[in-house]
Structure 1
Amino acid sequence: MQMVKKKICFIANPISGSRKSQNINRRFLEKHLDMQKYDFDIMHTRHKGHGMELARDAMANGFDVITAVGGDGTVSEIGSVMIGSDKTMAIIPTGSGNGFSRDLGIPMKLQGALDVINGGKVRTVDTGKIRSQSPGNDGEWTPFLSNAGIGFDAYMSDKFDKLEKRGLWSYIKAIWQEYWSYEMHEYRLVVDGKEVTRESWLITFANATQYGNNATIAPHALLDDGLFDVCIVTKFPNWKLPMMLYRFFNRSIDKSGYLEVIRGKSIQVYKDLSYAQIDGDFISLNKNIEVEIEPLSLNVVVPK
């Protein structure tokens, strides 16, 4: 009995961090994709937000698997419109951070990632959503996959976006330059009905463990437990900044003595906020925010 082929499309960002997505062309796929399993098409993004448009079109046109070929921004755009659908997302990571892909165990090399698409399994994971709240005027929900954050990580997401050169050392250099002038803030949070007030350097609502490049803010976060790890980095002496950066990258920030983790499904933050980050992208906000988990809402191809 002949196997019914699945329709798979590849949505590639040609200017993602490593530029490897430019190698995902028809010739490469005809050689390495399991052609007995898939019929494929390739599309390319042309501007910010275009991945969302292409993913919506692909779902409407009956594609079973939609593959994000790019970095965290491309993955977030495509995944965000697939939340709650019966379609499956695949990922070929070609960005500079690739946080969500690393958390899922997807190889960083093109051939390895394609091997997962050929022979992997489907895993259903949680996602999140965030919106502004002001009296009588709640904003629209914005979905995210890995994490959202306020404070220094949100501040730095805007700085990272303006860097001429991407990559780990460029990020570390930018953090070192900006850290000394950044002022901490006090935040009032309600996590699943429990109120806490903290002075914090940053607060990350972590669905996945890391920001990208293995910079790990929530070493024990799980993508399918129905909970955020609300990670609160408290004040630490300036001379400990190198140690904190080291611990971010060796998955031991929880042992620093300056990270508090509260787990929860629904969080409100009461603070005059003007910005945040979602999956590393800077977004504008208005006053208070609300963050909620969307349990088991996205299907993703992962290694067996």
Structure 2
Amino acid sequence: MIRIHFIVNPIAGHGNAPLTKEELQPYFITNVHDLTVKISEYKAHATQLAQESIAEQADIIVACGGDGTINEVAACLIGTNVALGILPMGSGNGLASNLKIPKNRRKALTIIRERHEECMDVGTINGRYFFSNTGVGFDASLIKNYESSEKRTILGYISACVTTFRDIKKNQPLSITVNGEQPMINPFIILISNSNEMGYKLSLTPKASLQDGKLDVLVIKKINRLKMLWLGFLIIIRKVHWLKESTSFQTTKLQLTRNHESFFDTQIDGEHHELATNILDIAILEKSLCVLTAK
């Protein structure tokens, strides 16, 4: 028997897509697939449930939710023989989109049933894992505002953008050094990507790959509000490199140092985190996670 455990975030996306074993069973073969459904009830609970499923000798653990749920589950599977399945139920679904896993439930479950595995790279930031991207600056503030909003939709995302734009001048001065080079004062954004998509089909690093053994880094220095609007348009058409204040490069490791402060506001796979340190060490682990994808 192939043991498949589904870990479900019931409030992912609009929170109206419940999942039960009875709903899933018709997509699988009764005498071949043994299904278990577990419900995540609070932040980091999916991690605990995934660890329990590993101890229960699951062959596949399926993260049913958005990028945050995927992060909690996938972090447990690195270095194991357990494959990650993804059932996109979030609002952005950046990693699933990059892996060409559709939101259509039947098609996504077919990918899980057919069990075609590929290995993908994984990013690390101060011992934590990220699978899509991590960053500081505007996107970290944006995610912080988005999480405080009750609207988990593209409109909620736009509203968080407006709030973040408005609050930029209120933020404390920020000085960051990248790999020991000349410090930048109040950089607009420093994004480190493993994936070519952030969610909602938006991308700041359209050439990033999950399997090239590299991190794609985008640095945008301090820009005025007019340039911010121009950047928003360039993101939509995937031409961020047209902004002269932007710099892009690839690397296998990176260090960010925040001068004069002992904490970093960051986003990790679309979740806000405040890290109690002034140094971020970021690196890539090549092909360290097995994930189920379309053939």
| TM-score, normalised with respect to structure 1 | 0.88
Instruction: Name 1:242's counterpart in structure 2.
Output: 229
* Cα deviation code 1:95-121 (max 9, x no counterpart): 111111111110011112111112252
Q: Determine if the alignment matches structure 1 residue 159 to structure 2 residue 145.
A: yes
Given residue 169 of structure 1, which amino acid in structure 2 is its aligned partner? L
> What secondary structure does 2:10 align onto?
coil
Higher percent of residues as strand: 1
Q: Determine if the alignment matches structure 1 residue 255 to structure 2 residue 242.
A: yes
Moved more, 42-51 or 13-22: 13-22
- The verdict on how the C-alpha distance between 1:180 and 1:162 changes in structure 2, with shifts beyond 3 A counting, is closer
The whole-number CA distance in structure 2 between the counterparts of 1:150 and 1:205 is 9
Gaps of 5+ in 2: none
* Cα deviation code 1:50-106 (max 9, x no counterpart): 100000110111101000001111111001111121110000010111111111110
Given residue 143 of structure 1, which amino acid in structure 2 is its aligned partner? Y
1:210 positional shift: 2.1
Instruction: Name 2:176's counterpart in structure 1.
Output: 187
* Cα deviation code 1:255-283 (max 9, x no counterpart): 34343112111111111343211101111
1:34 positional shift: 3.9
The whole-number CA distance in structure 2 between the counterparts of 1:91 and 1:35 is 21
The whole-number CA distance in structure 2 between the counterparts of 1:109 and 1:97 is 14
1:201 positional shift: 0.3
Given residue 284 of structure 1, which amino acid in structure 2 is its aligned partner? E
The whole-number CA distance in structure 1 between the counterparts of 2:98 and 2:161 is 23
2:270 to 273, 280, 298: 280
The answer to whether the 8 A contact 1:123-1:301 is kept is yes
* Cα deviation code 1:93-152 (max 9, x no counterpart): 101111111111100111121111122521100111112xxxxxxxxx111111111111
Gaps of 5+ in 1: 132-140
Instruction: Name 1:175's counterpart in structure 2.
Output: 161
Q: Determine if the alignment matches structure 1 residue 269 to structure 2 residue 256.
A: yes
Q: Determine if the alignment matches structure 1 residue 19 to structure 2 residue 5.
A: no
Q: Percent identity?
A: 28
The answer to whether the 8 A contact 1:7-1:63 is kept is yes
| TM-score, normalised with respect to structure 2 | 0.91
> What secondary structure does 2:120 align onto?
strand
Q: Determine if the alignment matches structure 1 residue 228 to structure 2 residue 223.
A: no
Instruction: Name 1:209's counterpart in structure 2.
Output: 196
Instruction: Name 1:135's counterpart in structure 2.
Output: none
Provide the alpha-carbon RMSD of the alignment.
1.8
1:166 positional shift: 1.1
Aligned length: 287
* Cα deviation code 1:38-57 (max 9, x no counterpart): 21111101111110000011
